[in-house]
C-alpha cells in the first residue's frame, strides 16, 4: 500500500497511543502460567498482539476478548485464565510468532521449561533474525533446541524440561534475552542468575515481582528460582515507543502542540525523552501516577529549537527502537548528531541503519551511514519524495512524520507496515494534521 503525505501547517491535539507492547506481551505470557484469572486492558494492537495470543492459545491457554469489561471497566479487555506453572499443553501444530521478535524470544524461554516438544517459527523477516542469543543460554540450562543454520535461525524445534539454573552473562544489553532466561529460570532447579553489561528494559522484572516471583536484583544481576505466580489484572500503559513519533513530530514541526495521554514512563523506556530534552525539546509531564507495576503520565510536547547531540554507549539500549525517528529529529536540528554503538539496528525488521539513511537522504537530509550507526548533519530542508518502508513499521512511521514536515508530497511505499504495532497510526496522523493524507 502506498500512502501520500502532504506538508501540513499545524499539528495539534490530544491522543492516546496503543498499549505498550512490552508490557502487554509480558502480562499475557506471565498470567498464562499464573494461578487464577487476570484481565489485561489497553492491550497493544496490531499484528504482534495477534502473534503472542495465537502462540499462547496454541499452548492451551484460554484467552477471551470482550468489550465493556465489568472487571477492568475498559472498552476492550482480554481475560487470561492462568494454567499454573506446569499446566501448558503440547501444541498440536507449529507455533507461529509472525513478525514478532518479542514473542519469539520470550516464548522460547517458556517452551524451554516445558516437558514436551514444540516448534516455533515466524514470517520471512523473522526467520532471518538471529536466535543464537537465546539458544545458547537455554541450551546451557538443558533444553534441546534444533534449528536452521546450525541452530541459530527459525524454525526452532524445542524439547524442554529438566532445566538447571545457570549463571549467565548476556553479551549485549537485551531485555528480550534477559527475559527469556528469567522465564526459563522459573522452571529450573536451583537459582538462575542473569547479568547484563548495562541496564536494559526491566518490564519483566517488575511484573515478575508484582506477581509474586522469587526474584532478586542487585545492580546488573538478576536472580530467580522456581516460583508460583499469582494472576494480576493489568492496565497496560500507553506505548512509549509509539509516543516517540508524536514527541518528535511535536518538537520539530514549526507550529505544533501535542498532548499524549497515559504514557508509560518506566525509567528504562524514557531514553527517547531524555535524548530529545538534551537536544532542547520542550517536553513536560503531567499527572504522574502508578499503574500496577509501572508508572504513567500525560506528556505535552511543543515546537522546539533542537540542536545536535551524540547518542551512544549506555543510552543505546533505552532508545534502540526510537533511533529511526530520532534520526529525523537530528536531521532537522542545528548542528551534527552522531549515533554509535547501535549495530543491533542492522538485525531488526529491516536493516534500520540503511533504511533510515536512504529514506532521509531521499527527502533531502544528509545522513552518512556507519557500521554501528549514522552521522547526521542537521539543518535539512526536507522536500517530498518517494520513499519505502522496507516492510518495517518504524521506518514507515518515521517517513510518515517526515512527510508532514517536508514541502510538497511524500509517497511511502509499503505504508501498511505500520499496522504491525500501530494500526491507527495513519488515522491519528490525519486527525493531528487535519488532513493531508491520501
20 in catalytic set: no
Distance from C-alpha of 332 to C-alpha of 308, rounded to nearest angstrom: 9
**Angle in degrees, 0-180, between the axes of helices 47-58 and 101-112, rounded to the nearest 10:** 20
**Catalytic site residue from 321, 341, 413, 427:** 321
Distance from C-alpha of 240 to C-alpha of 338, rounded to nearest angstrom: 23
Tell me the three state secondary structure of residue 264: strand
Would you call 277 exposed, middle or buried from its count of C-beta atoms within 10 A (0-12, 13-18, 19+)? Answer: middle
Would you call 21 exposed, middle or buried from its count of C-beta atoms within 10 A (0-12, 13-18, 19+)? Answer: buried
Helices (H), 213-279: 240-252, 271-278
Tell me the three state secondary structure of residue 111: helix
Partnered with residue 12 across adjacent β-strands are 257
Distance from C-alpha of 238 to C-alpha of 406, rounded to nearest angstrom: 28
Would you call 67 exposed, middle or buried from its count of C-beta atoms within 10 A (0-12, 13-18, 19+)? Answer: exposed
Distance from C-alpha of 47 to C-alpha of 161, rounded to nearest angstrom: 30
Active site residues: 321
Amino acid at each position: 500500500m502506498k500512502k501520500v503525505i502532504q506538508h501540513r501547517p499545524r499539528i495539534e491535539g490530544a491522543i492516546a497511543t496503543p498499549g505498550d507492547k512490552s508490557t502487554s506481551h509480558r502480562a499475557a505470557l506471565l498470567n498464562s502460567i499464573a494461578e487464577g484469572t487476570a484481565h489485561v486492558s489497553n492491550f497493544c494492537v496490531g499484528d504482534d498482539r495477534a502473534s503472542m495470543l495465537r502462540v499462547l492459545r496454541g499452548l492451551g491457554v484460554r484467552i477471551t476478548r470482550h468489550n465493556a469489561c465489568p472487571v477492568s471497566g475498559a472498552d476492550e479487555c482480554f481475560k487470561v485464565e492462568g494454567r499454573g506453572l506446569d499446566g501448558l499443553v503440547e501444541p498440536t501444530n507449529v507455533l507461529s510468532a509472525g513478525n514478532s521478535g518479542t514473542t519469539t524470544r520470550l516464548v522460547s524461554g517458556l517452551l524451554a521449561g516445558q516437558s514436551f516438544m514444540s516448534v516455533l517459527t515466524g514470517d520471512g523477516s523473522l526467520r532471518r533474525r538471529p536466535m543464537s542469543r537465546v539458544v545458547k543460554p537455554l541450551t546451557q540450562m538443558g533444553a534441546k533446541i534444533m534449528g536452521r543454520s546450525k541452530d541459530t535461525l527459525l524454525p526452532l524445534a524445542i524439547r524442554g524440561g529438566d532445566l538447571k539454573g545457570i549463571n549467565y552473562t548476556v553479551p549485549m544489553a537485551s531485555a528480550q534475552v534477559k527475559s527469556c532466561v528469567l522465564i526459563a529460570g522459573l522452571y529450573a532447579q536451583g537459582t538462575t542468575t542473569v547479568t547484563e553489561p548495562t541496564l536494559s528494559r526491566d518490564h519483566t522484572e517488575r511484573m515478575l515481582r508484582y506477581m509474586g516471583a522469587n526474584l532478586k536484583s542487585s545492580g546488573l544481576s538478576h536472580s530467580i528460582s522456581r516460583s508460583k505466580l499469582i494472576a494480576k489484572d493489568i492496565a497496560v500503559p500507553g506505548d512509549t515507543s509509539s509516543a516517540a513519533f508524536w514527541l518528535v513530530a511535536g518538537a520539530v514541526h514549526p507550529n505544533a502542540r501535542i498532548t499524549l495521554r497515559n504514557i508509560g514512563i518506566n525509567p528504562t523506556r524514557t531514553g527517547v525523552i531524555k535524548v530529545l530534552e538534551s537536544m532542547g525539546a520542550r517536553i513536560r509531564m503531567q499527572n504522574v501516577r502508578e499503574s500496577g507495576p509501572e508508572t504513567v503520565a500525560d506528556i505535552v510536547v511543543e515546537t522546539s529549537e533542537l540542536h545536535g547531540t551524540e547518542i551512544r554507549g549506555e543510552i543505546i539500549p533505552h532508545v534502540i527502537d526510537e533511533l529511526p525517528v530520532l534520526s529525523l529529529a537530528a536531521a532537522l536540528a542545528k548542528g551534527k548528531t552522531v549515533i554509535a554503538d547501535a549495530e543491533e539496528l542492522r538485525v531488526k525488521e529491516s536493516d534500520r541503519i540503511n533504511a533510515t539513511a536512504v529514506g532521509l537522504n531521499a527527502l533531502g537530509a544528509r545522513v552518512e551511514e556507519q557500521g554501528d550507526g549514522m552521522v547526521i548533519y542537521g539543518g535539512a530542508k526536507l522536500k517530498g519524495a518517494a520513499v519505502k518502508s522496507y516492510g518495517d513499521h518504524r521506518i514507515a512511521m518515521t517517513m510518515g512524520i517526515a512527510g508532514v514536515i517536508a514541502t510538497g508530497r511524500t509517497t511511502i511505499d509499503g505504508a501498511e507496515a505500520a499496522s504491525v504495532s500501530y494500526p491507527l497510526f495513519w488515522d491519528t496522523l490525519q486527525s493531528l494534521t487535519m488532513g493531508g493524507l491520501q
